[in-house]
Chains A and B, each alone.
Chain A
Amino acid sequence: MAFLMGDWPSYDPQNFSQIRPSDPSAQPSKLTPATYHPTHNRTVPPPNQVITTEARNILLRQIYQKAEDKLRPKRAATDLLTPEHGCKQPRGDFSNDP
């Protein structure tokens, strides 16, 4: 009788002797694994995306980063107050005092 364990050796020949395959037609080779489909497309990568290792090592990246920070002319004072994140909305003026 063919069952999943086959002819594998065991310490005790009585082990696994009680197992009966639950469904004789469900052979392992015929079982297909469940496939999962995404329910949204918010996290789809861009179609032309190629993932590669950064050619420059981390030390050089740091050096370039610091160099760019230094050479960029200092922003005027007003620039620093503008919000950098697009998702943040500037607050409107409050006309009524608490």
Chain B
Amino acid sequence: MFKSLNVTARVFERQIVQPRPSASVNSVRQFYENFVPSCTIYDIDCPDNSFRKITDDGKYLISFSRNHQELIVYRPTWLSFSYKGEDCDSDALSQRAKRFDSFFIHLYTVSLATSNEFICKEFFLYLEGLEFGIFATSTALSHEAPATEGAVNGVQCIERIVFHLVRLEDGFVLDEKVFCNDFVNLNHSMGVFLHEDLLCIMSLRYQAIHIVQITDSGNLVDVRIVGTFCHEDDELFIGSHIQVTEGQIFLSGIKQRLLSYIFRKHWSEETDQTLRIQHLKKKFYFHFQDYIDLIMWKVQFLDRHHLLIKFGSVDGVVSRTTEQHPSFFAVYNIEKAEIISFFQNSTEELYYLYEQFCDHFTASSRSSLHANFISSHSNNIYAFDQLCVIKNRASNFLQFVKKMVSSLPYTCQSQSPSPYFDLSLFRYDEKLISATDRHRYSTEHPIKFISRRQPHILKFKIKPGSEASGSDARPKRISSFLFHPYLPLAISIQQTFMQPTVVNIHFRR
């Protein structure tokens, strides 16, 4: 949109130039090319907490104490200091300004976990409008799970998982939801999906999806549990009509819906009566036991009434390489209790839906301004180019499809909305840093952010770790990055085995 690269010229241009319709945010974001976090304070003296995230509205920095029992919240702010002297344009930043609390004001510390429980430091979900945060505490993981009725064998067990709803303004714990002798995948919030005010929690052990609503007053209200029963009154109906004896007679409600959908789909594929029987034998009955053995792995909302459920085998739950095991995806309508669609993970159809409508899989609400502008291959030509490069390079298209589709169901709030990750503005090495908040191995070279518009012009560098780090063989270093959603401010945390953690702050001077 802007003809000039100079920030003053751009400000004047902005007064008269109208951005393209519906692209005002994308156009105004170009100002971030002029304001970059190029200054680094290395190894800042900060409290020894594990920093989790800067919330998407930029109001809170969430961190946990080292003993994983306390929640510590800071307010991101900007440094201000007064300079006594004449030459206040001098490059050196006052030593007193280079402090952690110049950038982050401590708001409060709240104890969430009691004696034998620990806060899961990788779990955090944020409700933007109401400023509520959802945290999880759990007891230790036990691999020998007692075989309880209704529980799937082979899934780990946690004695007690508690989800806490906290009002971040003051740290008041509003409500809690407890799961006993269950297992929910808390790593990177993968077992829970938040869509507007609805939360769906995947209980792996009991194969149930708990749909919970967060009210404005701060209560966690159970809406439905999809699993054994699908409609709200199923349990009552079955209880009043059938004498349930020891042991389950019926397959779970969701499994029945799935099997009947698969049956009807194969039934309608063939019109000739005799061929139909053969077709069903081959496609349905032959795999009947496999379908029965499937369990739900992961779930997400596609909108308020639809869930995308990933099914797979029991072995695949624990293993990290989920691509080896065949998995299936089903779209489920909660209100009608119907399966709408069912795909295997190698289906091209599912891949093309993912390629074209990737943004809709993130199911971000319309009210969230920042989340709608995260670069993806559906909304950004450079991301799409990268995807095409990988696609063309892949020797086996089926493997490529499986790999792409393995990122579904989407893990909510896993990407940073910072404009510095916008692929239309900057080019950076996605293996070293990206919008997704995962730990990465760090190199000794700083991570470069190169401008898109002016190729080969380096805009800024992010270097985790201490300023003078040599290239001698060191144990592997892991870095993580927390970017503020709209200020030119970022924290990089570098952890080395048996060495103190190094925290740097990158900002614009």
Contact A60 B303 (CB under 8 A): yes
In the complex, whether A74 has a CB less than 8 A from a CB of chain B is yes
Contact B357 A62 (CB under 8 A): yes
State whether the Cβ of A71 lies closer than 8 Å to any Cβ in chain B: yes
Query: Among B8-16, B75-83, B218-226, B265-273, which stretch is in contact with chain A?
Result: B265-273
A67 near B357 with CB under 8 A, answer no
Contact A58 B265 (CB under 8 A): no
User: Which residues of chain A are near B340, meaning CB under 8 Å?
Assistant: 63-64, 67
Chain B residues, CB < 8 A from A91: none
Q: In chain B, what residue has the closest Cβ to A77?
A: B271
Contact: B265 with A59, CB < 8 Å? no
Which of B264, B269, B271, B353 lies in contact with A63, CB distance below 8 A? B353
| Distance from B349 Cβ to chain A, minimum over Cβ atoms (Å) | 7
Q: Are A57 and B303 in contact (CB under 8 A)?
A: yes
Give B142-194 interface residues, CB cut-off 8 Å to A: none
- Structural contact, B360 and A71, CB atoms closer than 8 A: no
List residues 27-84 of chain A with CB under 8 A from any CB of chain B: 56-60, 62-64, 66-67, 70-74, 76
For residue A72, which residues in chain B have a CB less than 8 angstroms away from its CB? 268
Q: Which of B264, B268, B302 contacts A60 (CB 8 A)?
A: B302
Q: How many angstroms between the C-alpha atoms of A60 and B331 in the bound complex?
A: 9
List the A side residues contacting B302 at CB < 8 Å.
57, 59-60
User: Given A59-B353, A63-B353 in contact, is the A74-B271 Cβ separation under 8 Å?
Assistant: yes
Residues of B within 8 A of A74 (CB): 268-271
* Smallest Cβ-Cβ distance to B359: which chain A residue: A59
Q: Which residues of the partner chain A approach B331 to less than 8 Å between Cβ atoms?
A: 60, 63
Bound Cα distance from A97 to B360, whole angstroms = 59
Additional A-B contacts beyond A59-B360, A67-B340 (6; CB < 8 A): A62-B353, A63-B331, A70-B265, A70-B268, A71-B268, A74-B271
**Which 8 residue pairs spanning A and B have beta carbons closest together?**
A59-B360, A59-B357, A73-B268, A67-B341, A63-B341, A67-B340, A71-B268, A57-B360
Sample (28) of A-B pairs whose CB atoms are under 8 Å apart: A56-B303, A57-B303, A57-B360, A58-B357, A58-B360, A59-B353, A59-B357, A59-B361, A60-B302, A60-B306, A60-B331, A62-B353, A62-B357, A63-B331, A63-B340, A63-B341, A64-B340, A66-B341, A67-B341, A70-B265, A70-B269, A71-B265, A71-B268, A73-B268, A73-B271, A74-B268, A74-B269, A76-B271
